[in-house]
């Protein structure tokens, strides 16, 4: 558990556990590293790194209404610098995948591989666009309600719920709103064919509104990319189906390192 002082005005809180191939886990807006609490068991095999994005959890923010998704990607690069890591696997969940993709787009030479859980290269469907618009509205007008909704869909126990509700109250609502807005406008579909690093895409079988994005990736990325559908699962894979999710990461990384 530590703070990385990226600048005099910005500090990123992160937790680092284990040794081996480094994996950085990136959360969506309104959440924190706690959404990956069940990935801490991967520290038995890897160096696992769990940051709070700027303005979320215990991380500070200096420009809550003007940063870009590329700034968040730069934060990841600066965190790697702080940890003296040249490269890492980058794992993004949901809109955390926007930051992950911005990172690999800007820093392909620092990317050992990309893992996306419920990822999308752009928001292009009505269902996902409405989710983002709702998130933006709630972050602006009812951040406490947004926190309750996100926690209720991303908790496995009363203990999970209590911990997340309390921790996420530290998040700057303006930063959360901006993160939603930036992810809504982010687009990297035109660059997917350029990616040459290992790729793993994981989706919930029952999260049908996300399947159009799986097909976009399948049409555009290199042939060796791996696609996984987790049976009887919705979107919240890292926490609701962590055993299957972690197993796929273990299958993906050992054969590539």
- Give the residue extent of every domain in the chain: 2-252
Within a 10 A sphere around the Cβ of 254, how many other Cβ atoms?
12
Tell me: the pLDDT tens digits for 153-177? 999 999 999 999 999 999 999 999 9
Please say if the pLDDT value at position 223 is more than 90.
no
Q: How confident is the model at residue 256 (pLDDT cuts 50, 70, 90)?
A: very low
Instruction: Note the pLDDT tens digit of each residue in 52-72.
Output: 999 999 999 988 999 999 999
Q: May I ask the CATH architecture of the domain 2-252?
A: 3-Layer(aba) Sandwich (3.40)
- Give the model's pLDDT for residue 6: 57
Element (H, E) at 217: helix 211-220
CB 255 within 8 A of CB 113: no
Query: What is the model's pLDDT at position 254?
Result: 77
Mean pLDDT over 103-122 rounds to 98
In the prediction, which pLDDT does 3 show? 62
Which pLDDT value is given to residue 8? 55
The predicted structure's pLDDT at residue 63: 87
Strand 47-51 to strand 22-26: parallel, antiparallel, or no bridges (unpaired)? parallel
What is the pLDDT averaged over residues 42-59? 96
Q: What is the pTM of this model?
A: 0.96
pLDDT over 70 for what percent of the chain?
A: 96
Q: State how beta strands 88-93 and 22-26 pair.
A: parallel
């Amino acid at each position: 558990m530590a703070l990385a002082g990226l600048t005099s005005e910005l500090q990123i809180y992160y937790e680092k556990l284990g040794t081996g191939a480094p994996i950085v886990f990136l959360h969506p807006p309104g959440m924190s590293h706690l959404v990956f609490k069940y990935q801490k068991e991967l520290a038995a095999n890897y160096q696992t790194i769990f940051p709070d994005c700027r303005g979320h959890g215990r991380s500070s923010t200096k420009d809550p209404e003007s940063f870009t998704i590329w700034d968040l990607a730069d934060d990841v690069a600066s965190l790697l610098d702080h940890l003296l890591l040249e490269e890492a696997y980058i794992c993004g969940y949901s809109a955390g995948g926007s930051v992950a993709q911005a990172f690999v787009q800007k820093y392909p030479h620092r990317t050992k591989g990309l893992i996306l859980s419920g990822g999308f290269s752009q928001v292009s469907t009505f269902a996902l666009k409405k989710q983002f618009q709702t998130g933006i509205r709630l972050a602006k007008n009812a951040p406490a309600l947004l926190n309750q909704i996100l926690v209720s869909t991303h908790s496995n126990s009363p203990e999970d719920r209590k911990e997340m509700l309390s921790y996420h109250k530290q998040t700057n609502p303006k930063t959360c709103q901006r993160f939603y807005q930036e992810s809504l406008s982010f687009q990297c579909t035109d660059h997917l064919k350029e990616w040459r690093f290992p790729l793993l895409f994981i989706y919930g079988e029952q999260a049908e509104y996300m399947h159009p994005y799986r097909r976009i990736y399948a049409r555009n990325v290199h042939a060796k990319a791996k696609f996984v559908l987790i049976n009887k699962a919705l979107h919240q894979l890292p926490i609701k189906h962590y055993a299957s999710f972690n197993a796929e990461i273990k299958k993906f990384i050992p054969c590539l390192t």
